[in-house]
């Protein structure tokens, strides 16, 4: 066909206009495209893509192949569309001296100087409209050892209105939907001016230790938690190994049969 007949020089011109996810997807279209992209996209560039899209991902061991890490992080996201649109969200004009801006700057200083244990958060834009956060799986839970990444969208009316929070790392949990949405009462029904980004993340972290199964985002998982805790823990732990431990180990070293 026409696409197969295009010379590499023409394809490379097209590829240069693609973002990182589109570039990765193009490399999976056919062997020829993958070979062309592998020859033109360096490990340094894949590392740069990771730093832009997952700024809180910090590998604990030397990385031999950044493209493999990129692939694993991308496949660990519940929704690729949400992951892509996270970087494309518009930033509305906001007054630098507004209450919202001062409040968020104060919260950011506190998060940097005195972060809660196992929690990090950083804005993705200068107006602090879009944030990325990470939550370390609590000790003693099936999520222990995992680093779970989240996306937060802060409305213009913050702190009068709560942030929108979504996991961008897959997790097996009754209060977190397969799409990554979080079933937390304080950000849906009982928001208060006294709450902060830090407190929201702490509440989500506590859900990983003590799920609230009276009302579930995923009722089937909630019923499993109540009826067979050992099986729930087994699956949740395997999901953690597979999707949330790329900073320490590669999933190929873990037996994930049956996940």
Alpha carbons 202 and 188: distance in angstroms, whole number: 16
**Mean pLDDT, range 151-169, rounded to an integer:** 96
Q: Where are the domains of the chain?
A: 2-85, 99-253
Q: Whose CA is closest to 20, among 49, 57, 60?
A: 49
Residue 1 has pLDDT above 70, yes or no: no
Mean pLDDT over the full length of the chain: 91
Residue 145 has pLDDT above 60, yes or no: yes
Q: How far apart are the first and last CA of the chain?
A: 39
CATH of segment(s) 99-253? 3.10.110.10
pLDDT digits (tens, 9 = 90+) for 173-220: 999 999 999 999 999 999 999 999 999 999 999 999 999 999 899 999
pTM for the full model? 0.90
Phi-psi region of 258 (alpha: psi -120 to 50; beta: other; left: phi over 0): left
């Amino acid at each position: 066909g026409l696409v197969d007949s295009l010379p590499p020089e023409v394809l490379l011109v097209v590829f240069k206009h693609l973002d990182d996810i589109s570039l990765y997807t193009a490399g999976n279209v056919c062997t020829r495209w993958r070979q062309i992209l592998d020859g033109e996209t360096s490990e340094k560039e894949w590392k740069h893509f990771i730093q832009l899209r997952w700024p809180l991902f910090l590998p604990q061991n030397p990385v031999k192949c950044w493209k493999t890490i990129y692939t694993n992080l991308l496949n660990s996201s519940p929704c690729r569309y949400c992951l892509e649109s996270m970087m494309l969200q518009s930033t509305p004009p906001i007054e630098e001296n507004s209450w919202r801006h001062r409040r968020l700057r104060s919260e950011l200083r506190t998060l940097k100087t005195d972060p809660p244990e196992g929690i990090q958060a950083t804005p993705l834009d200068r107006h602090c409209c879009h944030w990325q956060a990470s939550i370390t799986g609590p000790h003693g839970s099936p999520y222990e050892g995992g680093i779970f990444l989240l996306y937060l969208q802060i409305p213009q009316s913050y702190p009068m209105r709560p942030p929108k929070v979504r996991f961008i790392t897959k997790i097996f949990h009754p209060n977190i939907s397969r799409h990554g949405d979080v079933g937390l009462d304080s950000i849906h029904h009982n928001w208060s001016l006294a709450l902060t980004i830090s407190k929201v993340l702490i509440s989500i972290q506590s859900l990983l230790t003590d799920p609230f199964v009276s009302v579930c985002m995923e009722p089937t998982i909630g019923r499993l938690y109540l009826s067979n805790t050992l099986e729930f823990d087994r699956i949740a732990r395997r999901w953690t190994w597979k999707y949330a431990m790329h900073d320490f180990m590669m999933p190929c070293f873990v037996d994930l049969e049956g996940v």
